[in-house]
Amino acid sequence: MTRWLSMILAAGCLTGLVAAGPAFAERQVTDQAGRVVTLPDRVERVVTLQHQTLDVLIELNAQDKLVGILRDWDKYLPSTIAEIAPVLRDLPMPGDLRTVNAESVAGLRPDVVFVTHYMKSDVVEQIERLGIPVVKISFFTGPKSEQAKLNPSLDDETKAYTDGLVDAVRLIGAVVGRDKEAGELVDYALAERELVNQRTAQMADAKRTTMYMANPELATYGSGKYTGVAMRQAGGLNVAREIDGYGKVSMEQVLQWNPQVIVVQARYASVAEEIRKDRQWQVIDAVKSGRVFVAPEYVKPWGHPLPESVALGELWMAKKLHPALFEDIDMAAKAESFYRRFYRQGYKGM
């Protein structure tokens, strides 16, 4: 520990000994790893080292509380996010999804640090020893044995990720004093999902469209990830569900699976063009039928859900898979409505 940091901590300790009264009131929350975390009554300075939590904070209109964010945030989040929250461009970046520079975090004087559920315990303890509360966010629920895993094994993935999303948004809102906004965001997402539930979520497997999520270098999402939940909600079936979590597959496997639809995330749009042109892919049904789709930015068909994934992403996917069942749905209008309400500006993405 550097000398200046020791002085800061010593000053903080002395202040804590002298000060008393409501300004130093505390409260406790239980994070998604089941840890009881003691927080100041009012949280005004936030560091988040997880992109999903960063996105939710912006949706809750709490970006003014940010004093530090994760490295490479712009690679994880849609390209329009910096237009929605310009403050992101100038914020310090003291860590990432797995690592933290604790001294840099301490220098930002945060009231709380949000991290991933799989951030190692020794890293979390390093931050906490500096007197800074740490809240772990996972966006899924499940047995204790799975809570710290990047690729959890979940008996009911739809329930685990639905409950986990609701819990995560409400927890983030409670931490930063945006309880009302968090409730509205959750209610909106679940209400929009009902459109999908009523038309495709209960569809028999024989009527479902087989799907593959194409990421760079033949990486994809298998079982235990939200991506498969989104596909199933939309009336699809993830051909890669036999693999565990996020990982690489072989071209031979993809050829054997022969998916009817291929979806590519907006952040990897070039992959879709490669698939359309590469000779190896031309025998696959999705390519032959022209059903290789780049998902709009709001879909976010990642390993973990976000409110717009549930409110917009599953609906977009369902409309692509079963256009006749969703002929009445205007996705441009849906996206505009969500963005106006929760990002406070119109939708400008693809």
pLDDT (tens digit, 9 = 90+) per residue, 105-152?
Answer: 999 999 999 999 999 999 999 999 999 999 999 999 999 899 888 888
Q: Determine, yes or no, domain membership for 200.
A: yes
Q: pTM for this one? A: 0.89
Task: Give CB contacts under 8 A, 24+ apart, made by 268-276.
Answer: 268/214, 268/215, 268/216, 269/294, 271/214, 271/215, 271/216, 272/214, 275/214
Shared domain check, 202 and 120? no
Element (H, E) at 319: helix 314-321
Place of tokens 């990720």: 161
Last residue of a domain, one of 152, 181, 199: 152
- Same-domain pairing of 102 and 234: no
> Do 300 and 202 share a structural domain?
yes
Encode pLDDT of 67-117 as tens digits.
Answer: 999 999 988 888 789 999 999 999 999 999 999 999 999 999 999 999 999
Contact 247, 222 (CB under 8 A): yes
Residue, of 267 and 331, whose pLDDT is higher: 331
* 139 and 272 share one domain: no
Nearest Cα to 134, choosing from 150, 147, 117? 117
pLDDT exceeds cutoff 90 at 202? no
1 pLDDT exceeds 50? no
Asked whether the beta carbons of 70 and 51 are under 8 A apart, the reply is yes
306 or 12, higher pLDDT: 306
- Token pair listed for 141: 């629920």
| Domain of 80, in residue numbers | 22-152
Q: What is the pLDDT of residue 43?
A: 98
pLDDT in tens, 220-271: 999 999 999 999 999 999 999 999 999 999 999 999 999 999 999 988 999 9
Locate 350 and state its tokens. Answer: 């693809």
pLDDT of 79 reads 79
* Domain CATH number, residue 238: 3.40.50.1980
Same domain? For 204 and 148 the reply is no
Q: Are residues 132 and 209 in the same domain?
A: no
Strand-pair category, 219-221 with 246-248? antiparallel
In a domain, 42, yes or no: yes
What ranges in 61-201 are assigned the alpha helix state H? 73-76, 81-84, 102-107, 121-128, 157-176, 179-196
Domain boundary at 124, 152, 180, which?
Answer: 152
Look up residue 306 and give its amino acid. L
What is the spatial distance between Cα 50 and Cα 96, in angstroms, rounded to a whole number?
Answer: 7
Same domain, 138 and 202: no
Question: Can you tell me whether residue 235 is helix, strand or coil?
Answer: coil
Evaluate whether residue 106 is within a structural domain. yes
Residue 288 has φ and ψ, to the nearest 5°, of: -60, -35
249, part of any domain: yes
User: Please, what is the angle between helix 51-59 and helix 157-176, to 10°?
Assistant: 60
Mean pLDDT of 6-29: 52
Q: Express each pLDDT in 152-201 by its tens digit.
A: 889 899 999 999 999 999 999 999 999 999 999 999 999 999 999 999 98
Verify that 143 and 27 share a domain, yes or no.
Answer: yes
pLDDT of residue 98: 93
* In a domain? residue 2: no
Q: Are residues 202 and 120 in the same domain?
A: no
pLDDT of amino acid 158 = 94
Q: How many distinct structural domains can be found in the chain? A: 2
131 and 260 housed in the same domain: no
In a domain, 114, yes or no: yes
Query: Number of C-alpha atoms within 13 angstroms, CB side, residue 159?
Result: 6
259 inside domain = yes
Q: What is the pLDDT of residue 24?
A: 63
Kindly give, in sequence order, each residue whose CB lies less than 8 Å from that of residue 152, ignoring residues fewer than 6 positions away: 140, 142, 146, 160, 224, 245
Could you give the C-alpha distances from 310 to 16, 244, 251, 283, in angstroms and in order? 43, 23, 30, 32
pLDDT of residue 134: 98
- The residue among 152, 177, 207 that closes a domain is 152
Q: Is 6 a domain residue?
A: no
Measure the CA–CA gap between 107 and 93, rounded to whole angstroms. 12
Identify whether residues 137 and 250 lie together within a single domain: no
- Greater model confidence, 153 or 340: 340
Q: Residue 288 to residues 43, 237, 254, 258: CA-CA distances in angstroms? A: 54, 19, 14, 11
Give pLDDT, residue 12.
44
Would you give the DSSP letter of residue 313? Answer: I
Pair 325, 248 in one domain: yes
Strands in 209-213's sheet, in edge-to-edge order, are: 236-238, 209-213, 261-264, 292-294
